[in-house]
Structure 1
Amino acid sequence: MKYGEFIKHVQSFAQLNSHEDAERATRATLETIKERIVGDEAKDLASQLPKELGEYLRGREGENGQTFSIQEFISRVSEKEGVDPVSATTHARAVFEVLRNAVTPGEFKDFQANFSNDYAELFPTSQESMANG
């Protein structure tokens, strides 16, 4: 999936008004994912994304992820993006949905394994995906 396509899908899923808003939501979510998951898993995820997006996930190779709740995750996305927590939740959910379609099913499963069950509301629930289904 190309960068513009990824951002366009985030914009559509999150019902954002502009490409720039979708870029901001994507960056805030990916940077928070980088803080939360194991650094090597973030690198693996980055390797399947467009270079521009992968950069938001790199830089913590060999480090453990921080353990924090979904509420803290949303709070961090909200702060980085400059939106309220309800909007940040919607935007993060959109980014997770597009991620599922942008990487291989095995990589998405590995990524998802970094999160506790309380994060379930951010993960897509449908079995079919746009790119892999």
Structure 2
Amino acid sequence: MQHDDFIGQVQARARLDSRGAAESATRASLETLAERIPPPLAEKLAAQLPREIGEHLLRVAYAPDLPATGVRMSREEFFGRVAERSGADMPKAVHEARCVVEVTDEATVGGLADKVRTSLDDDLAEVLFAGSSGPAGN
């Protein structure tokens, strides 16, 4: 999947009024996800995404001046961080993050999204991956 296709899918699914809003939702969601998952998993995920999008994961996963990654957080804390980064209210942040994860799931292969899902607490994974099925044959 190319960068423009990825952002276009996020914009359409999240019903955002601009590509800039889709870029912001993508950045906020993936940076927060990178705080939560182990760095090697973030690196594998980034490698399967368009370079500009994967950089959101890598910037956080390997940033020496940011808090540790792989940090356990409640779903409220996770979505609160997404909301803070994107400037959206909590319900909108949840919806946008779910759309970003859905597109990310479809853009990756090899069961990578399942590895991300299993690295999360059950309650967060349940909300974040609701409705995500990945590409056909995944």
| Superposed pair shares fold, TM > 0.5 | yes
Equivalent residues in 2 for 1:50-89, closer than 5 Å: 50-59=50-59, 60-61=61-62, 64-89=69-94
* Matches of 2:95 and 2:69, distance apart in 1: 27
1:132 to 115, 133, 136: 136
* Matches of 1:15 and 1:92, distance apart in 2: 12
One-letter identity of the residue aligned with 2:32: T
Question: What CA RMSD, in Å, does the superposition of the two structures yield over aligned residues?
Answer: 1.5
How far is 1:108 from its partner? Answer: 1.1
| Displacement over 4 Å in runs of 4+ | none
Residue equivalent to 2:38 = 38
| Per-residue Cα deviation, 1:3-22 (whole angstroms, up to 9, x for no partner) | 01000000111111111000
* Matches of 2:132 and 2:36, distance apart in 1: 24
Q: Which runs of 5+ in 1 are unaligned?
A: none
* Matches of 1:6 and 1:105, distance apart in 2: 19
Which stretch has the larger CA shift, 90-99 or 111-120? Answer: 111-120
- Percent identical among aligned pairs is 40
Residue equivalent to 2:129 = 123
Instruction: Tell me, yes or no, if the aligned pair for 1:104 and 1:132 is still in contact at 8 Å.
Output: no
Q: Which runs of 5+ in 2 are unaligned?
A: 63-67
* Matches of 1:46 and 1:93, distance apart in 2: 18
* Matches of 1:45 and 1:126, distance apart in 2: 16
Instruction: Figure out how many residues of one structure are paired with residues of the other and give that number.
Output: 130
* Matches of 1:75 and 1:48, distance apart in 2: 27
How far is 1:2 from its partner? Answer: 0.4
* Matches of 1:35 and 1:82, distance apart in 2: 18
For the residue of structure 2 that corresponds to 1:49, the secondary structure is coil
* Matches of 1:109 and 1:84, distance apart in 2: 28
Instruction: Tell me, yes or no, if the aligned pair for 2:105 and 2:132 is still in contact at 8 Å.
Output: no
